[in-house]
Amino acid sequence: MGLSTFQSIGGIAVLIFLFALLGWLHYTRPRTQSFAPKKPSLGFGYEWTATPLTKAKSDLITRFPELEAVMQGRNGDGIQLVRFGLFNMTEEIIEPGQISRPVEVHFSNDSNILSAVFSEALKTETRANIAPTIEGNLVRLPRERMNPRSTLIYNFILAGGSGPVDVTGETTDHGAIKRVG
């Protein structure tokens, strides 16, 4: 056996030793659990759309069954159909007692609120039969229990104006209501 055979065997032995050492280090290293950071909660939010009655499509008009009673003796000029969504964008239930300031939807002085009614609930239980209240140029929504990631939708019919100018409300755990879009 020559010198080159010992060098080859020595090189192979060193490689085996290095692979064994790396394997041992890999399997004996301390295991740490990595947690994905929790997404920040978007909280309690709202969004709305306003459509002039003269431009409303039939599928939107069917969502306003109160429209016929409100429109008696009126033409459609200056009438706005407003869909207002209230969103619980948290992973927790919002109870009525957690709403420290009820949601109030404020409209401009040139608006006349003809109707404010509950329309539908998404991802939440049947709601209480409490109607929104109209006080001058604002609509106050009832305090409702909302499941996580749920929505309550209200219909407003306005004569004049173009939609809400301000929305206020607050929960104890999630602070002031925020516009989603």
Q: For the segment 123-142, what is each residue's pLDDT rounded down to a tens digit?
A: 987 666 788 999 999 999 99
Question: What value does the mean pLDDT take over residues 114-129?
Answer: 85
Say if residue 87's pLDDT is above 80: yes
| Residue length of the chain | 181
pLDDT at 149: 93
- Give 25: exposed, middle or buried? Use CB within 10 Å, 0-12, 13-18, 19+: exposed
Residue 66 pLDDT exceeds 70: yes
Structural domain boundaries of the chain?
44-179
pLDDT at residue 99 above 70? Answer: yes
Name residue 171's beta-bridge partners: 99, 175
- When comparing pLDDT for 151 and 20, which is higher? 151
CATH code for residues 44-179: 2.60.40.290
User: What's the pLDDT band for 169 if we cut at 50, 70, 90?
Assistant: very high
The pLDDT assigned to 40 comes to 54
Residue-wise pLDDT tens digits, 53-62:
999 999 999 9
Contact partners, residue 66, CB within 8 Å, separation at least 6: 115, 117, 155, 157
Q: Which helix (H) or strand (E) holds 70?
A: helix 67-70
Bigger pLDDT: 162 or 169?
169
- pLDDT at position 126: 64
Looking at residue 28, what is its pLDDT?
A: 76
Indicate whether 41 pLDDT > 90: no
Instruction: Give the per-residue pLDDT at 49.
Output: 95
| Other Cβ atoms within 10 Å of 128 Cβ, number | 11
